[in-house]
Structure 1
Amino acid sequence: MKSLVWFRNDLRVADNSSLQKACQGDSVIAVYCIDPALFETGPYGFRKMEKYRAKFLLQTLGDLKKNLALLNISLLIYPRKAKDVIPDLIKKYEVDHVCLQKEWTRDELKELSEVREKCSENIEFIETYDQFLFHPEDIPFKNISDLPDIFTQFRKQCEKYARVRECLDIPEAKGPENILTESTPIPELKDLGFSPFEPHPHTAFPFQGGENTALARIEEYFWETKKLAYYKKTRNGLLGKDYSSKLSPWLANGSISARTIYREVKRFEKEIKKNQDTYWLIFELIWRDYFKYVSLKYGDSIFQLGGILKKDYSWNNSETARTSWINGTTSEPFVNANMIELAKTGWMSNRGRQNVASFWAKELKQDWRIGASYFEAMLIDYDVHSNWGNWMYNSGVGNDPRDRKFNIPRQAGMYDPQGKFQNRWLQPSLF
């Protein structure tokens, strides 16, 4: 049996179900396709991926290629559409089955459909749900339609009745004869239409992409500095790399799994300390799971103006509002500082995201999908489920039963009382 691993948002060798299944075959090859459509301007005026996440992705692919090479598995990387690559690879290498992570959102479903249409019916596509903390087969809801529309109900039921599966080991290496004579270079930023750049000196996310860096970050944040023991107290911070775990970018492209983080937290609780802070990181992983289940339940509704609630609000689409929000020239200094940080670094804190989203949707009353699309373009840690789920939540068309609106001056006073964060990003001399 000849297997092909089609990597998508599961760019790791540890705890990877598709790689495990593929390695049960006699020979294995791996492929990753960078769709050129990611860099085309979309309906809201933004690319789907700007330079920050593009650079992080290329670093991640470099790491993955090295880690797969240790298993004698070749990773072929193509800056082309999957439909123009994978069917040809299947024929060329006489592949019997394709192993891949199961996705369910619009673009990913379309991509898979286009590939399957060009393949023989004899080719088996083995899809596995592999991006959850709680596997869909293990949650205490018989049908996805039974999923609660309030997070707390979901969390309590899962904490009571669901279990987190064990992590899968890295597969055993194949024989050296498994290595292909064919190879592909890792694209450079210029190949994707971007100029090379260095990280901003004040970025709160000064890390590189890749599974090895993700594991190194866990080692540092959990075991060396033991900052995990203070996570809940510091997670609403704004400055520096250690106010939060910063694991979300690696989680987003799957260079680390939620299960791996969970197991490390549990080990920390056993060996070092168990408290509200350690629990809170698991709490955030459950939130991440929840938004994935919301998108599984509601499908394309997460991209619609009325959201999953089908709310008929009156939304505006002002070019002036858009420009001032993006450039950080609104009436709110706290919003401005966060938006400038995003533009300069590709990162924004959780506290910042909630405030700038609330300002865009609740104060300016602008089409929330424009804001969500801008975040999609700019954020290093963009994840389709969390991004669109959080934007719906903050815009009053999602899973927030209270439909809250942030008092931004009060938030700035609470979380930036000395104005250090605002001063850092609002001083032109810094650039």
Structure 2
Amino acid sequence: MQTLYWFTRDLRLHDNAALLAAARSDMLLCVYVVDPRWFATGGLQSKAMGSHRWRFLWQSLMALERSLRPMGQRLHIAFGPPEQVIPELVHAHGIGRVVRSRLPGTEEAAQWQALKAALPGTVFQQFETLSLFTEGALPMPLAELPDTFSQFRKQVEKTGHRYSEQMRIRTLTALPPAPGFPEDNRGECPPIPEPVHPLQFTGGEDAGLNRLREFLFINHGIARYKETRNALDSWDASSKLSPWLANGCLSVREVAESIAEYERRETSNESTYWLWFELLWREYFFWYALKHGANLFRRDGVQRKRRPATFYGHRFKAWCEGNTEYPIVNAAMNQLRETGYISNRARQLVASCFVNELGLDWRYGAAWFQEQLIDYDVGSNYGNWQYLAGVGADPRGLRQFNLEKQANQYDPCGTFIDRWGGHAEQPVGLHTVDAADWPLS
């Protein structure tokens, strides 16, 4: 059988059960589809993908192609809607099977169903490669996923397992040949912009594995992670693994196993546990997205709590541009816009400001994060925004941070604010009137 393997958020050879299954073929066509719709501004005033993530993604694709070539393979990068690209390749190469990793997200699910309907004679298979656990290994049916993370964590910890060990595989060393090397149209993809600031993030599987080794076994950052993780602007204060995890350059099970190895070889303490704890948050939101589907993107969230329906265009613009009355927020938003990354603490602060001080619809903030972040992950992003907005998985409801207190605690000398230009010359106040204000439909 000839198989098309559709790379998505699994841009790696290690621990990739979907690619392993696809490799059980006579011939294998490896494909990545760049959807032009990612780069168009949507209804929430943002794009699905901005320049920072596009740069990281392209680096990851080039790294994957370099890894495939020694096995006689190459990566076919197609620019176009998947609903058009995949059928064309299936018909052109006599493909009998299409394989990919299972993805959360309503658009991804709709595309998969549309392809199955368009290609009734083709076998379609999905495999779980993006999570710690397979659905069958969860301690509850997906439909009964707890409403809060704490309940989920307690049930997982009762099992005594940190990931589905039976699903983890080593790096592939051989792949079947490709059915020729058809020309692709990667040249039609958007150009790769130069970064504004020198970046420490480089896309690709090797870069992700190197960062994992560096943080755990070279710098031993994991041993003090719980004490340092809230720093606003320090490379080694946190793992910085999220961009590679989000793009699938790094397997989350590889990270979990490395944590366990560190605990066996070096030390086991509250900080080493806390890194796995953060992986479990990511896991929860992965299944949360699959369970709740379209409700992940609704203004009233999964709790169906009514939220304000007025949108202040000038406030949204000021927040995006780092031009509010709150220096700590401005600094973080400037850093995000210029680098594509901000710390977890900074994300909580700017989201709290967006929802509470600025009184804006949380979905617009989530969409801006989606465009800007190099580590955008649909479940974590929209799940966390719902959490902060009080319409998601937080039993306490709406959360609000005291921004002045947070600045004093995490940036007492104002170093972060000064570095990222947090003191706006003419900040936009809450009572400014702008003709761009409009009610949400």
Aligned counterpart, 2:157: 159
The equivalent position to 2:312 in structure 1, one of 315, 318, 321, is 318
Residues 1:195 and 1:136: Cα distance change in structure 2 (over 3 Å)? closer
The equivalent position to 2:363 in structure 1, one of 369, 373, 376, is 369
Distance 2:379 2:147 in 1: 15
Task: Output the TM-score relative to the length of structure 1.
Answer: 0.93
Aligned counterpart, 1:64: 64
Distance 1:178 1:331 in 2: 57
Q: Secondary structure at the match of 1:308?
A: coil
Given that 2:195 and 2:339 are in contact with CA atoms closer than 8 Å, whether structure 1 keeps it comes out as no
CA offsets per residue over residues 351-409 of structure 1, 9 Å max, x none?
00001001111222111101000000000000110000000000111111112211111
Unaligned runs of 5+ in 1: none
What is the deviation of 1:17?
Answer: 1.1
Residues 1:50 and 1:397: Cα distance change in structure 2 (over 3 Å)? same
CA offsets per residue over residues 130-152 of structure 1, 9 Å max, x none?
211122111111x2221111111
4+ residue runs of structure 1 moved beyond 6 angstroms?
none
Given that 1:140 and 1:158 are in contact with CA atoms closer than 8 Å, whether structure 2 keeps it comes out as yes
Aligned counterpart, 1:287: 281
Q: Secondary structure at the match of 1:85?
A: helix
Distance 2:276 2:303 in 1: 27
Counterparts of 1:390-405 in structure 2, within 5 Å, are: 390-403=384-397, 404-405=399-400
Aligned counterpart, 1:244: 238
What is the deviation of 1:55?
Answer: 0.4
Counterparts of 1:224-239 in structure 2, within 5 Å, are: 224-239=218-233
RMSD: 1.8
Counterparts of 1:20-419 in structure 2, within 5 Å, are: 20-119=20-119, 121-141=120-140, 143-161=141-159, 163=161, 164-166=163-165, 167-174=168-175, 178=178, 180-184=180-184, 187=187, 191-194=188-191, 196-201=193-198, 206-403=200-397, 404-419=399-414
Count of matched residue positions in the alignment of Structure 1 and Structure 2: 420
Moved more, 266-275 or 157-166: 157-166
CA offsets per residue over residues 52-72 of structure 1, 9 Å max, x none?
000000000001111122222
Q: Secondary structure at the match of 2:175?
A: coil
Distance 2:323 2:225 in 1: 32
What is the deviation of 1:427?
Answer: 6.9
The equivalent position to 2:419 in structure 1, one of 419, 424, 431, is 424
Q: What code does the residue aligned with 2:63 have? A: D
What is the deviation of 1:106?
Answer: 1.2
What is the deviation of 1:84?
Answer: 1.8
What is the deviation of 1:178?
Answer: 4.1
Given that 1:131 and 1:257 are in contact with CA atoms closer than 8 Å, whether structure 2 keeps it comes out as yes
Given that 1:62 and 1:186 are in contact with CA atoms closer than 8 Å, whether structure 2 keeps it comes out as no
Residues 1:325 and 1:131: Cα distance change in structure 2 (over 3 Å)? same
Given that 1:74 and 1:180 are in contact with CA atoms closer than 8 Å, whether structure 2 keeps it comes out as no
Moved more, 9-18 or 313-322: 313-322
Distance 2:148 2:84 in 1: 42
Q: Secondary structure at the match of 2:392?
A: coil
CA offsets per residue over residues 306-339 of structure 1, 9 Å max, x none?
0011001224200111111111111111111101
Unaligned runs of 5+ in 2: 425-441
Given that 1:3 and 1:29 are in contact with CA atoms closer than 8 Å, whether structure 2 keeps it comes out as yes
What is the deviation of 1:180?
Answer: 2.8
